[in-house]
Amino acid sequence: MIEFRSVSHAFDDVPVLEDVSLSIDAGEFVLLAGANGSGKTTLLRHSNGLLEPDSGEVLVDGTPVAEDLIAARSSVGMVFQHPRDQFVAATVGEDIAFGPENLGLDRAEIDRRVTAALETVNMAGREDERIDALSGGEQSRVAIAGALAMEPTHLVLDEPFTGLDAPARRSVLERLASLSADGTGVLLATHDLRDVCELADRVIAMHDGRVAVDGPPADALAELDGLEVRVPDTTRC
């Protein structure tokens, strides 16, 4: 479980998060919506200690993040917006191995995790391919596999769909849904709810650094007016 307890954060005295409290349970699929600049990315970066709150506290599976960064970062797998900039190696397999190597696992275990992570994102057997030669959708999936290889209890994704077409979005989303069905908590930031919200258990919307809406998709949708979040035209949620 990831818990934010009254988290506040300011950049250069400009408040960006104000007294945010929420929690994400294991196996939950939660959407984090909100307009540009509403504080989604900032919130996510508190979940694994990339940022420290000015006040308040973040706990991962009961342990304060600040107390055990290694536990927080191996329990919370993070996927950023620009996959190109987060790969550390030139080939798929080497990149996915990076996290497990940092945990000091032995080589056989690392290989097992790389294989398993690639299977989970539907890219089995493509370890030796060059990352640059992959399509945008495939790169997103490799980025997710890199996070999964840490065997996290939660997956936190910051707009992983930039530049993906509808089928690619769809396939990544379905992977995420099945991961959450298998017990991984998923927190997905986006300002575009098209075809995402029917898969989610909960929608949280940020507005000016505060949680404006938090509830099941169907209820949350009705409250999103004025928050500049793109809502599906059909009521598929």
Partner 1 sequence: MLTYEPDESLAHRLDPRAKLAVQIGFAATALAHTTPRALIAFSALTAVAMATARLSLRRTLVSYRLALVVLALAPLLAGVTVGPPWFDRSAAVASGLASYRVLLILLVSAAYVRSTPVRDSRAAIQRTIPGKPGQLLGVGVGLVFRFLPVLRGDLRTIREAMAARLGTERGVVDRASTIGMLGVARAFDRADRLSLALRARCFAWNPTLPALAFSRVDYPVLGLAVILAVSAFY
Partner 2 sequence: MATDQHSVELVDDDVVKPFARAAVLAALMGAAVFVGSIPIPFSPIPISLGVIVVYLAGLYLGPYWGAFSLLLYLTAGAVGLPIFAERASGLGVLVGNSAGYLWSYPTAALLIGAVVHRLSEDGDPADLSRPVLVVTLLAALTVIYLLGAAWLGYVLELSTVKAIEIGVVPFIPGDLIKIAAVVAIVEAERIAT
Ligand X SMILES: Nc1ncnc2c1ncn2[C@@H]1O[C@H](COP(=O)(O)OP(=O)(O)OP(=O)(O)O)[C@@H](O)[C@H]1O
41 binds Mg ion (CB under 5 A): yes
234 binds ligand X (CB under 6 A): no
71 binds partner 2 (CB under 8 A): yes
Instruction: Tell me how far, at minimum, the Cβ of 75 lies from partner 2, in Å.
Output: 8
Separation of first and last alpha carbons in the chain: 25
Pair type for strands 2-11 and 55-60: antiparallel
Please give the size of the binding site for Mg ion, defined by CB under 5 A.
1
Burial code (b: 16+ CB inside 10 Å, e: under 16) for 126-154 equals bbebebeebeebbbbbbbbbbbbbbbbbb
Q: Residue 191's binding partner, choosing from partner 2, ligand X, Mg ion, none, with beta-carbon cut-off 5 to 8 A by kind?
A: ligand X
Instruction: Tell me, residue by residue from 95 to 114, as one string, x for binding to partner 2 by CB under 8 A and - for no binding.
Output: -----x-xxxx---------
Distance CA 148, CA 55 (A): 30
Residues 170-209 that bind ligand X (CB under 6 A): 191
Distance CA 136, CA 83 (A): 8
Q: Residue 148's binding partner, choosing from Mg ion, ligand X, partner 2, none, with beta-carbon cut-off 5 to 8 A by kind?
A: none
Residue from 47, 74, 120, 180 binding partner 2 (CB under 8 A): 74
Q: Residue 218's binding partner, choosing from Mg ion, ligand X, partner 2, none, with beta-carbon cut-off 5 to 8 A by kind?
A: none
Instruction: Tell me how far, at minimum, the Cβ of 11 lies from ligand X, in Å.
Output: 3
* CA neighbor of 113 nearest in space, from 132, 98, 129: 98
The beta-carbon contacts of 59-67 under 8 Å, at least 24 apart in sequence, are 59/1, 59/2, 59/3, 59/5, 60/1, 60/2, 60/3, 60/153, 60/154, 61/1, 61/153, 62/1
Stretch that binds ligand X, among 35-43, 82-90, 98-106, 108-116 (CB under 6 A): 35-43
Closer residue to ligand X, CB minimum distance, 36 or 234: 36
Contacts of 79 (CB under 8 A, 6+ apart): 86, 140, 143, 144, 146, 147, 155, 156, 157, 158, 160
Instruction: Tell me how far, at minimum, the Cβ of 94 lies from partner 1, in Å.
Output: 6
Stretch that binds partner 1, among 18-26, 90-98, 176-184, 186-194 (CB under 8 A): 90-98
Distance CA 222, CA 206 (A): 15
Residues 137-176 that bind partner 2 (CB under 8 A): none
Which residues lie near partner 1 (CB under 8 A)? 45, 48, 50, 70, 73-74, 78, 80, 82, 84-91, 94, 98-107, 110, 131-132, 146-147, 150
